[in-house]
A and B are shown apart, each in its own frame.
Chain A
Amino acid sequence: MRWCLSLLLFCFLAVVNALSSSGNRLLVVLEDATEKESYSTFLGDLEARGYNPVVESPKSDKLSLFELGERAYDHVLLFPPRSKGFGPSLSPKNIIEFMNKDGNVLLALSGKSTTPSAISSLLLELDLHLSTDRSSMVVDHFNYDIHSAAETHDVLLLQRPGQLRPDTKSFFDGEGVLAFPSAAPHTLGDSNPLLAPILSAPVTAYSYNPKEDFGSVEDVVASGSQLALVSAMQARNSARFTLLGSVESLQDKWFSATVKAPGDGKESETANRDFAKQLTAWAFKETGVLKVGKIEHHLAQDSEAPSVELNPKIYRIKNETVFSIEVSEYKYDKYVPFEVPENDALQLEFTMLSPFHRLDLQPSGKTENSSIYSTKFTVPDQHGIFSFRVNYKRPFLTSIEEKHEVTVRHYAHDEYPRSWKISGGWVWIAGLWSVVAGFLAFVIMWLYSAPTSTASTTKKTQ
């Protein structure tokens, strides 16, 4: 009976663990409960992946992100509010505090309604900028769905995003087109390395305010690919904030819509459902989460003798040293070996104030759910307190920051080459031993020499 219960408990734990790497408590903030119906597939998918969505209205009294000073939820999904903001329990300060405690936030906006200024100021803290009127909408006269937006052109058809840069992993790629109805655009501040665009508007797209339209646009803040539709901010503590410009793209209707682009475009099914899965998986830390396993450093040796000490506290200058680090990546429900993207490198720095060595770590082995990266190098000829540092911060991947201090000493007095091995020292060695030999000869000569007649005669002449 007992083992049956524990087996049940184990199975339950396994189910609970088979999802996000950072928990399954998901708060869905939805103002209008009747709207929940139109997102049933999306919310159902989240539940099927193991989340525990709690749908709350922002007006609810018992809604709070924290309980006794700790996070009450692991992730928050915010649907665009109808009223002026999300209310006091979801103020920008509280949301930032929630992220400071490692909580993840996915905020969806809509171009149909004006975004409240409270949200705009929250986004401003993260260096994401909405247009000043906060009610702009993206249109594109070249990539729209002719079935549903033949007149207004506000259902954008977009290609799935590929790699952000040649050296990043793509978590959002795939086949098919995405339909983004009435998307609210935003722009990214250019000085923040924590920001990364996930999906940008097409080159020909632009944004305008439908309420203040005078026949043609003459003043645009940004246009084309400068308009971001989906962006991500990953804080230094790896908490993730994701901004989705079009909440309507998550509706059931767009999960399985048939769309057609103008011109001779073919009819195609939208890939919104797949994209929504990828986006929520990334936002709620099911993908792109790195974990460091064993970190080892030791003296290099020719044979594989087990005698060498692991992770010694002290090295000597010019020692050959081997460093290895084990990294795994969380992928939906398990850890898999982490592969560094092409054109990128996991780098080891050997630093004292500034790096003396910065070396690319090479893959050297693989276990079932981690890969091992290692490198071999010579400790610099400078003694002091050094550290092995692996500082791997990349877009879409949680950061790795490892620092392991070691002492580097100089040669001990008996580790230098002996003086006879230094040919320049031979003169001094010869001098020393000739003095020794001369002293012994002098002692013998002084003890046993008999005075000679010549000596006495010279004395006399003097």
Chain B
Amino acid sequence: MQLWHTILQLSLLAVTAAPTAAAASAWGFTDATVSVHAKGAGVGSGLKENIPDNKALTKPVSLGSTDTLKVTLTAREGRSAKRAHQVFLLLQDPETGLDISYPFNVKDNGKSRVELTQKDLPVQFLSLSDPLNAKLLIGSFGSSEAYNGAAFKLAVTRSPDQPVPTVEVSRYGKLPEIHHIFKDDPQNPPIVITLAFVAMVLATLPVLAGMWLFLGANVRHLPNALKASPIPHTVFLGSLLSLEGIFFLYYQSWTLFQVLPAVAVAGTVAFISGSRALGEVQGRRLDGLR
């Protein structure tokens, strides 16, 4: 029983010790600084922050269009400074996941540095509103656990009067819908105005009739004319009426080739009967009746 307890305790100890043992063979960094220098500014100006060992800086770092970002660190495996095969500054857009890595300049003693300006960033990163996630990747071959941790947030600032560069790439995909915009239908004037003008036009007929009556127009010769030559007069007037009727039918539904023979017939009838009727009218004039 006692033995079991000791074994259990020993194994528990081993379990609790395991992470520390693993930590001893894990990659990390120390003496990390991030600094931003404006171009032309004196030494010591600009921002310079120390990044706590294996942790992230809480303050965001902003990089202007003429600034240079510089990150230095000492990579170490466990507790000893050592040269790592991969020391990268990884920038990632939190929204799209777009990523790019910048390798550090690594010395044999593990001291590493990288410098970065806005010209080195991909164009897609220049127009972001949210700050980028900057991570440090430190790793090498072998069994040591590689380090992948957030370092700071990098805000890319641009002066508002500079245009944001954009990239246009062609990709096959859905295109925006297009709906044809139709021309407006023709408009009619207000019906009241139309009716007023129609009334004015139609009013010319009573005005004409009134004027004629005022000047003494009459049909007193009609019985004489019908008595003298009844057939030509009725046929002539009838053919004139039927001509107008044909024109009405043409307007309403007939085609030209229906109209032409009908007009030819009615016109011939009107010509022949009209010459007879007008002969009778001439007779009345010769009689001195008009």
Interface residue ranges, A against B (CB under 8 Å): 139, 141-142, 150-153, 165, 167, 190-191, 193, 203-204, 206, 208, 215-220, 223-226, 262-263, 318, 343-345, 347, 349-350, 355-360, 378, 380-381, 393-395, 422-424, 426-427, 430-431, 434, 436-438, 440-441, 443-445, 447-452, 454-455
Contacts and interface: CB of A to CB of B under 8 A. Distances in A.
Given A191-B169, A204-B137, A347 B209 contact: no
Which of A150, A218, A318, A343 lies at the interface centre, i.e. has the most chain B CB atoms within 10 A of its CB? A218
A190 B97 CA distance: 17
Given A167-B174, A215-B83, A219-B103, A381 B241 contact: no
Contacts of A355: 178
Interface stretch (B8-16, B51-59, B150-158, B194-202): B194-202
B216 A434 contact: no
Contacts, number: 190
A427 B197 contact: yes
A445 B219 contact: yes
Interface stretch (B41-49, B63-71, B86-94): B86-94
Contacts of B176: 358
Interface in B186-238: 186, 188-189, 191, 194-195, 197-198, 201-202, 204-205, 208-209, 212, 215-222, 225, 233, 237
A451 B189 contact: no
A445 B217 contact: yes
Contacts of A206: 86, 88, 101, 103
Contacts of A208: 85
Interface string B109-141: 000000000000000000000000000010111
A452 B216 contact: yes
B188 A203 contact: no
Interface residues of B, number: 76
Contacts of A360: 177
B173 A344 contact: yes
Closest 3 CB pairs of A and B: A141-B139, A452-B216, A141-B146
Contacts of A223: 88, 100-101, 103
A360 B175 CA distance: 9
B281 A359 contact: no
B173 A454 contact: no
Contacts of A438: 204-205, 208
A436 B195 CA distance: 20
A193 B178 contact: no
Nearest to A318: B182
B290 interface: yes
Given A427-B194, A431-B201, A216 B85 contact: yes
A142 to B, nearest CB: 6
A215 B173 contact: no
A445 B212 contact: yes
B39 to A, nearest CB: 24
B32 interface: no
Given A193-B172, A224-B100, A356 B178 contact: yes
B99 A225 contact: yes
A378 B181 CA distance: 11
